[in-house]
Structure 1
Amino acid sequence: MRHRAGVRARLSWRLLVVPRLALAAGVIVWAVIRVLTTRRRPQPPRLAPTADDPVGAALAGARPVSRFAGEALDADDLRWIVSVAELEPAGEDGFNTAVGLDDTVSSYADVATDGLEDALADQPGIDAVEHADRESVLVRSALSLPDVHAAAVRALLAINRQPRPVPRRRSLHPDVMRAVADGMAAVMGEHGFTVRSGTSFHRVLAGERLTQVVGLRDGAGHHNDDGTISDARVMLTVEVVTTDEREHILSMSYEPTPVTGIEDLLVRKALPLCRATASRAAIVERWVSGLPWHVPDRPRREAADIAARWGFRGHARDLLGHRNRRRP
């Protein structure tokens, strides 16, 4: 019996370790192939510097005022308080420059609330700006690094004298959101979403006692001085709720999308998701298909509970069974 137990123990050890080693090796191979085959986004060429010392030109005649009583400021300190560095472009925004801010910048402005992002975006040659955090700003520009440095210094000096407490990038007016929804109405009607409430469209699946809701929220855009709005983006959401109890079964939110690309996002992602979740059986099957690694839409135990209440007891056992087997 000892011999058999020993053999059983060795087999159990191998059954546990070998698949894990194979999985780890597979992940490593995939990562290496990914690195070798992924092409880096080419760095766009920069323009030549506009002067021998663009920062010096920005500082000429500057007389900043400290936010703190009794503190004298030397504008030339902005040469090191503000810094710039090359950044490899990534993502659709393509930021290629990082602007760093030393802590002492607080003597010149509250960069979080005084409008540094807007002031920098107004500088000639600056294409896009994102104030990532208090100490760094991301910039997309073809200007040379010295010229971006000078632009950041000019922006900081501008808000030192005239802060901009109202950000230009802010929420879209409800009328604008409704106008975006108007542009979706025809497509939504073609797919059975015949009930509208504000910026949301509803499709009632009577036989399944489910309602699908596709809506817009969190719209924001850059409000220009002339009253126009640029780079307007909205978030598209998909929800499935029970028609009777209004219980939320699943919810999906997509990344904020330019309003001009909403219809494309609908066709590529939102409506296919609606088709794939048009019945209770399809929803439960979607959850089980993610096993053993991932159950989409909601925590596994909640998915199992819903499946059981809907009568899919075998699927519920599968959901709970995989969870239990993964425990150490």
Structure 2
Amino acid sequence: MRWRGRRARATRRPATSADPVAAVLADAAAGGPLVRRFPDVEARLEELPGWIDVEDSGELEGYDTVVRFGDEIASYCDPYDDGLDLALADQPGLDAVLPEDREVVYLRSPLALADVKAAVIRAVLEVNRSPRSPAPSRVLPTEAVEELVATVRPLLEQAGFANTHAGVRYFYREGRDGFVGSIAFASGSGTSADRTSQDGQVWVMSGTHLPGIGRDVPSSPDRVAPVHCHQLVQHWAAPTADDLRRLLVAEVLPVLDLTRDRAGLATWIGEDPTRVGVPDQRPTYARLFAQWGQADQAARVVAHLDRHWRSLRAHPDTAAARELIRAAARR
């Protein structure tokens, strides 16, 4: 099991020009019209940037950038079949590439986001005009993941989960106090920190969304995904119904059941503050627990910080938690 919190990334380099995307489009225009993938749909060069979003991301170890493609990208290329991942890997400044599916790719890059977007556009244009053969891979097709998810759907529904608007691989469950549990399934790929291959495995992401915490706050519970959860848990399962069910029953659902509300989350983290994988976030949880009236659990987190993280003793949230704990003791 891996906990992944939102971590500050290193400072990005300055942009190479006032508008790197415009420079790429100007170069591409000199090369003539784009190749149509569908007879009745024109691939317009000037519209391509609108179908690509590039943002900072701290959700996956080793990757600091997420690229999201709109459905319209299919008019320019098929990210899988045309070898877009290979073209991305060849772009200067893109140090690592991890496709999640046809719509989402994680990258590691020190470039400014504008330069990353320019590099992604350049890669799309390259495979539009000269498609590549996909790299040999044991990565499960999305369809295979969806078939496996269908086998555990009754288990998830019995536990109170339902599909989100994002599709059949994404589930949510409303808890108490505005909490929302989230589970998503995708194709595993790449290698873990211990060099174990994750190709051919099912990637299971889960977490509990706390209302009002995090940069991205969904508008409704059915729009929550693991990326919105302050503490994201990642697991990998063998591509069999039995292994996936076993993982959900033994690892995923028990944690989500224990963290369905304020009291449950406070108790679970209070028992072991290292369950908040990023130490710098532990003072925030101490303050939250104290504000929620969970003074005993807040005190456990503060004691952990005092014992193991001297640099966080004077953190503003640690100080706020101490004051709230003392105030609770005086009542």
- TM-score tier, shorter chain, comes to 0.3 to 0.5
More RCO (CA 8 Å, sep 6+) = 2
* TM-score, reference length from structure 1: 0.39
* TM-score, reference length from structure 2: 0.39
More strand by share: 1
